[in-house]
A = this chain, B = another copy of it.
Amino acid sequence: MVTIKDVAREANVSVATVSRVLNGSGPVSDETRRLIREVAGRMRYVPHSGARSLITSKTETLGVLLPDLYGEFFSEVIRGMDDTAQRNNFHLLISRAYADRHGIETAIKAMRGRVDGVVIMSPDLDEKSLLNLPSTIPVVLLCSVPRGNEIDSLTITNCRGAREMVAHLVSLGHRRIAIIKGSARNYDAAERLRGYRMALRERGIAPDPYLEREGDFTEAAGYTAALKLLSLPNRPTAIFAANDSMAIGALSALRESNVEVPEEMAVAGFDDIPLARYMDPPLSSVHVPIHELGAKAVELLLHGIMHKNDHTRRRERVSTELVIRRSTGAEPAERPPPPTTLNKVMASI
């Protein structure tokens, strides 16, 4: 490995001068600067980051702690983070951590000294788990429960997005609107549920517990929940799924049960993944700017790193946007068809 000493020897200068040139610190004559640049380039010298961080106590690396979430969200948010990180000459150290407190603490500990700050995605609702993070470094909470004012956080306007979508469904004439909820302990899921209930109440509709079905953000959950909704004595006329994957699962179930969408049942999702518009019918959804979310999270973290003494906590939100496609595009049927669903389900098994 070629070190700063090698470069210094080759250029007939001291290591200090090489360091000054490469870091732009201190005064160096134009000529030696040029020479050292040339030599360093020729020798393909790259400073040893460990040695550097030892003395500067900076790593130029950001940690990213991810939960067990799959799908496109994950990759796109990382992409947004990497773009911003690279632009600021930072690296990304990425790791999955179990969402519980122990998992996160372990992960943070493993990253200590390797990173200048951490973005934590811990959608888990448990209030206590993220308090008193044993971190001496800046932290940004992404899509997690915002804490007192101890930690910077960045979230989506989940509640507003859900509320707008459900309001839209109501405006189409729907009164019995079901929701397929996200994972029970998930923050985003809870907020979307809150928005759903809020929209109903605002329109004078009492939320019906029977229309709030369990889900876990997977296609399978959406499929199962939709079947259950179809079997209800007083079937809903619209389904709002807490994410697109479940909405797609629901569409699949409705199709197999020969329920027309949107005529007999309107369906809406959340996230607006690229596939949404290619569904049959194209899926109405709440668009989430995922790339921007990642980028903002890193910006926030970098700010925290640069201004460590500035202890005012920041709490930001990125806005969602309603995207209406055909899956919600019609008025509800006046009367729900008789529940012949059971026969159909049985036939399909």
| Chain A contact residues, CB within 8 Å of chain B | 1, 44, 46-54, 57, 59, 61, 70-76, 78-79, 82-83, 86, 91-96, 109-114, 134, 136, 218-220, 223-224, 227-228, 231-233, 245, 248-249, 251-253, 255, 274-275, 277-280, 335-338, 341-342, 344-346, 348-349
Residue of B nearest to A82 (CB): B96
Instruction: Please determine whether A46 and B344 come into contact, CB atoms closer than 8 angstroms.
Output: no
The answer, among B47, B113, B345, for a CB contact under 8 Å with A345, is: B345
Taking A83-B96, A251-B278 as given, write out 16 further A-B residue pairs in contact, using a Cβ cutoff of 8 Å, ordered by the A residue number: A46-B112, A48-B54, A49-B50, A70-B274, A71-B75, A71-B274, A75-B75, A86-B96, A92-B94, A219-B275, A220-B338, A228-B344, A249-B278, A252-B279, A253-B336, A335-B349
Partner of A278, one of B49, B54, B219, B348: B219
Instruction: From known contacts A78-B94, A336-B223, infer whether A54 and B61 are also in contact, taking CB-CB under 8 Å.
Output: no
7 A-B contacts (beta carbon < 8 Å):
A50-B54, A71-B75, A93-B93, A231-B348, A245-B275, A248-B275, A253-B337
Number of copies of this kind of chain in the complex? 2
- B74, B337, B348: the one contacting A220 at CB < 8 Å is B337
How many Å lie between the Cα of A41 and that of B46 in the bound state?
35
The answer to whether B95 and A82 have CB atoms under 8 Å apart is yes
In the assembled complex, the Cα of A272 lies from the Cα of B169 at a distance in Å of: 33
Within 8 Å CB of A274, what residues of B? 70-71, 218-219, 245
Which residue of the partner chain B has the closest CB to A336?
B223
Query: Are the CB atoms of A51 and B49 closer together than 8 Å?
Result: no
Q: Tell me if A136 and B1 are in contact (CB < 8 A).
A: yes
